[in-house]
Structure 1
Amino acid sequence: MAIKLGALVLSAVLFYFGTGFAPVPALTWLAPLPVLLLAPRVSGKATFTVAFLAYLLGLTNQVNFFLRTPSVPLPIGIGIIIGSSLLFGLVVWLFRALGRRGLLLLAACAPPALWVSLMYVTVLTNPTGIIWPLATSVADVPAVTQVASVTGAWGVEFMVLLAPTALAAVLWPGAAVGARLRAGVAGAAVCLLALAFGAVRLAGADSTGWRGVAVISASRYQWAPDAAKPDTQALVREYVKEIAGLPAGIDTVVLPEGTLGTDEASLERALAPLREVARDRGVDVVIGVVHRTPEIKYNYSVDLPADASAPLYYTKWHFAPGEPFRRGDKLVFARDRVGLANCMDLNFPTPIRDYARAGSSLMAVPAADEFGNGWQHSRMGLLRGVETGLSVAWAAQWGTPMISDPWGRVLAERDTESARQPFVAAFADVPSGPGPTFYARFGDWFAWLCLALAAAGLVALRSAPREPGRGVGGEGAVRQRAAGQEEPSRG
């Protein structure tokens, strides 16, 4: 009982501090290890239960968000918490089951593949998409995240789990030396190759400035305030003042999602002061507008061009269930092929991958964020940029306005939740980038590879007999001792 409780508490604490809204990346890699080391020493039922509870307790760092957010309906939030905890329990159970059959190489590789596979199924079925739990936690370590340019962020999720499963396989009690060696070499080779690729890719990164970009956010959260009201008109004037005060060299300014709420009568009048400052400063201003018509609502990212030409309207593609918005399906480009998107759109591979293939180098993304998840969601945007080879200008209402380059390096960011001044602004020169990445061109091939690898692991459970006594304290060892048999020596 003590060893189970110890593994449960240690993994739960590591998950609590290694994932979520303010993670410590080093702890992300360590969090699965205690329950993986426990697995050979207890029953399959105990393995699954301890792993499930450890992940569930670790996710208490995000409960407040799911209880309060309107962006993710509570049933879906509960499903994410419980479903991902069940998945982690299944991952550790599969590690144990393969290890007890002497298949340590598969035990190292198939469980991370199963994790990625079911996360991928989530993207295909969950209307709110996914915010990668492990990849976002290590998103501020660019050497790790570069593999996403080839595999998508699925490769980062896989690698973060592969390291502890490979180490636990090497430490499997009573296993043959050859089996341990194969698991350890394979795990180390994959991780080291990914890190070497990251180092080489970063060494070749072009930091030459191509476009000056700024993100500006009010530090008080106001979702789609009525543009006809005096307070909202004052807010627009304050934004105009902030834009006018930006340093020289800025070409694109991005404001948050839902900065204004408009209707047919107020839309043009509300945008007029921002169009004027865009013309006077020679900048494109991208602003989030929630627009109401008698029939339906639109969540727009609106580009106000520097040349005073007509505004461009991008309609948000992805919404939580039940939201009364018209869904968009078209790409919209500002000057110099700058792509427009909106907050939850980056929870999905499209449209950002489509923008990369269409020649964009920068995504202008008005966002909202809320209740503490701003940093994590901004890193979702950053990872999408690494995947596709795009810079990202992320302007959050309540979170972390951020500018990242195509290699996932944060060029500038601010925090609205702790800000004391009424507005925060971040600005930087972004490079043009490497062009569409392998992932942008070929999509989720790695997720499909993980589906095949996970299937191979599950098939192996049926085809390979369990080796009695495999693992100290396992069920087979208990039965052997009860029968007076000796466990055969290994290696």
Structure 2
Amino acid sequence: MRSFFTESWLTRSFLWLILAVPLLLAATGERVVAAAPWIAPILLLRFARQQPAGRGYALVAMATTGVLAVTWADMVPFDGTAYYAFVAVQGLLFALPYLADRLFAVRLPGLAASLVFPAAAVTVEYAASFGPFGTWGSVAYTQESLALLQLTSITGIWGITFLINWTASVGNAVWEEGLTSPSIRWTTGVWGGLLAATLLLGGTRLALMSPDQTVPVATVMGRHDTSSFWDLRREAKSRKAVRDSARAVQRDYLGRARQAAEAGARLVTWAETAVPVPREDTTAFLDRARTLAASHEVYLAMAVNEFPRAEAEARLQNKVVWIGPSGTVHTEGLKTHLVPGEPGQAGTGTLPTVSTPAGMWSSAICFDLDFPSLIRQAGQNGVDLLVAPSNDWAAVAERHAHMARVRAIENGTALLRPASKGHTLATGPLGRTRARVNHFTTEEYVQMAHLPTDGPSTLYAALGDVFAWGCGLGLLFLIGGAYVRLKTSAQAETARAGAA
């Protein structure tokens, strides 16, 4: 027992694990210090490299699970056993790149060794994005530098994840061997050159690309508390009372939309879940909206919760209904990705599109924007403006709005994101904020903005997740190379032993 503590727990390597914990706390959760995700992995790599592979993986996983249990406590929409199981899985996944580095990077030379950790990090994040929570938890979302984020227009978020983790790998290599080694100097030079080029080209893109024309748009909020409506629906004994309450909300929002149109808006929208519509009243509600659109020559992108009677077999539809200035219902799109446990009918996975004189417009709803492969349709279809009605809560409001902004940069589309219980956001296709409202601290009921009418094409829209797939394939090649070197080394040892 004494030997164990002397040789393991009290060695200097555990200092790096201890120092990494506060940095991890600053790198995850509601509020993030942007530098922390770049520094914490250096310390964790240093620790894992000095431990047996299994023990190092287990301890890194324990540390990250404990940190996530604290920082994500208010961000995850469930609690109890399910919550702790969720963060445990996340912690185990987070630690996998450290295990890969410990097993394979130590058997590879210079540049190849430095690529194992970032390639593994991207592979794990990309694989996790196919789960029910999409890209939630990606380290890329901790960064808000617009120059850096322009990289997502080429690689998606995976390029940011790679750079952050490659920085850790190169930093650890310099820490271990110093810059006296030619291979380390070469590796550091390649890393530094690519990072500098990313920032330089991103800054150049921001400086040179500016919109020629814009369109006035608006998001509106009603005075009615829609959460009170849903409480009423659950408790009301009369369907008539529910319908009367829903009509009051509808009148409120259509009235705000009229104000926005009279103020010059060419497009008006509002937040997810804001307007409830009993199924039997759908036609009447749409008739009123069509009259409004035609009389004010405005486009309406209406976030609607259309719900059936409780005894009906049909399911709630959370959707965006598009009405043009002629009063025509152009199209509608249901929410595709429902939050686990969310009731309703899921959409088909096809984004609706509306061709307008100001460009191609489309819509997706809240959680849909956490899935890059779905929103990539906007870039493929040449969408110039993406409307994204959302409904958040305080702990995720800042991060979720930022995640939506990254989708806009990836696909070269302007973004109009009205949010209840969150941050309403209007950005250009490069991510520049044109308008922003925190609905926890403001009583504004109409937000006006001018958004570009022509978004740039992006490589990410054309190529998709090629970079992520490349990291996965590259990781396999690196593992194969490590195996070959290990086998060759073992054969050489055997030969030397035989000769002796």
Residues in 2 aligned to 1:65 and 1:425: alpha-carbon distance in whole angstroms: 28
Residues in 1 aligned to 2:107 and 2:319: alpha-carbon distance in whole angstroms: 55
| Aligned residues between the structures | 460
Deviations 1:179-236 (A, max 9, x none): 3213212222222222122112112221334222223345956287469444443333
Q: Mapping of 1:78-117 within 5 angstroms? A: 80-101=86-107, 103-117=109-123
| Cα displacement (A) at 1:19 | 2.7
Deviates more, 1:20-29 or 1:372-381: 20-29
The aligned counterpart of 1:19 is 28
The aligned counterpart of 2:257 is 243
* 1:172–1:180 contact (8 Å) kept in structure 2: no
Deviations 1:11-66 (A, max 9, x none): 23222222333222222222222212333433334432342233223322112232
Q: Mapping of 1:280-295 within 5 angstroms? A: 280-293=295-308, 294-295=312-313
The aligned counterpart of 1:394 is 417
Residues 175, 208 of structure 1: alpha-carbon distance in 2 compared, 3 angstrom cutoff: closer
* 1:363–1:391 contact (8 Å) kept in structure 2: yes
Deviations 1:249-275 (A, max 9, x none): 422122111223323312233445544
Give yes or no for the alignment of 1:185 onto 2:204.
no
| Cα displacement (A) at 1:441 | 1.0
1:446 to 450, 463, 467: 467
Residues in 2 aligned to 1:283 and 1:26: alpha-carbon distance in whole angstroms: 44
Q: Which secondary structure does the structure 2 equivalent of 1:266 belong to?
A: helix
Q: Which secondary structure does the structure 2 equivalent of 1:211 belong to?
A: strand
Deviations 1:412-457 (A, max 9, x none): 11122x3252x55443211134433111011111011010122123
Give yes or no for the alignment of 1:464 onto 2:485.
yes
The aligned counterpart of 2:426 is 403
Residues in 2 aligned to 1:30 and 1:377: alpha-carbon distance in whole angstroms: 24
The aligned counterpart of 1:296 is 314
The aligned counterpart of 2:134 is 129
1:333 to 334, 340, 353: 353
Structure 1, unmatched stretches of 5+, are 469-491
The aligned counterpart of 1:479 is none
Deviates more, 1:378-387 or 1:314-323: 314-323
Q: Mapping of 1:265-280 within 5 angstroms? A: 265-280=280-295
Give yes or no for the alignment of 1:305 onto 2:324.
yes
| Cα displacement (A) at 1:148 | 0.8
> Per residue, is there more helix in 1 or in 2?
2
Deviates more, 1:143-152 or 1:221-230: 221-230
Q: Which secondary structure does the structure 1 equivalent of 2:30 belong to?
A: coil
The aligned counterpart of 2:405 is 382
Q: Which secondary structure does the structure 1 equivalent of 2:328 belong to?
A: coil
Give yes or no for the alignment of 1:262 onto 2:273.
no
Structure 2, unmatched stretches of 5+, are 1-8, 234-240, 490-500
Residues 104, 74 of structure 1: alpha-carbon distance in 2 compared, 3 angstrom cutoff: farther
* 1:47–1:89 contact (8 Å) kept in structure 2: no
Residues 74, 449 of structure 1: alpha-carbon distance in 2 compared, 3 angstrom cutoff: farther
Residues in 2 aligned to 1:190 and 1:44: alpha-carbon distance in whole angstroms: 30
| Higher RCO structure (Cα 8 Å, ≥6 apart) | 1
Amino acid at match of 1:431: P
Residues in 1 aligned to 2:251 and 2:15: alpha-carbon distance in whole angstroms: 57
TM-score normalised by the chain length of structure 1: 0.84
Residues 424, 36 of structure 1: alpha-carbon distance in 2 compared, 3 angstrom cutoff: farther
Residues in 2 aligned to 1:24 and 1:224: alpha-carbon distance in whole angstroms: 38
The aligned counterpart of 1:480 is none
* 1:258–1:289 contact (8 Å) kept in structure 2: yes
Residues 102, 448 of structure 1: alpha-carbon distance in 2 compared, 3 angstrom cutoff: closer
Question: CA RMSD of the aligned region, Å?
Answer: 3.0
Residues in 1 aligned to 2:125 and 2:95: alpha-carbon distance in whole angstroms: 14
Deviations 1:133-180 (A, max 9, x none): 211111x21111111111111111111221122111121147971232
Residues in 1 aligned to 2:27 and 2:165: alpha-carbon distance in whole angstroms: 13
Percent identity of equivalent pairs: 22
Larger Rg: 2
Residues in 2 aligned to 1:156 and 1:216: alpha-carbon distance in whole angstroms: 34
The aligned counterpart of 1:351 is 374
Residues 40, 427 of structure 1: alpha-carbon distance in 2 compared, 3 angstrom cutoff: same
Residues in 2 aligned to 1:435 and 1:467: alpha-carbon distance in whole angstroms: 51
Residues in 2 aligned to 1:237 and 1:8: alpha-carbon distance in whole angstroms: 58
Q: Which secondary structure does the structure 1 equivalent of 2:306 belong to?
A: strand
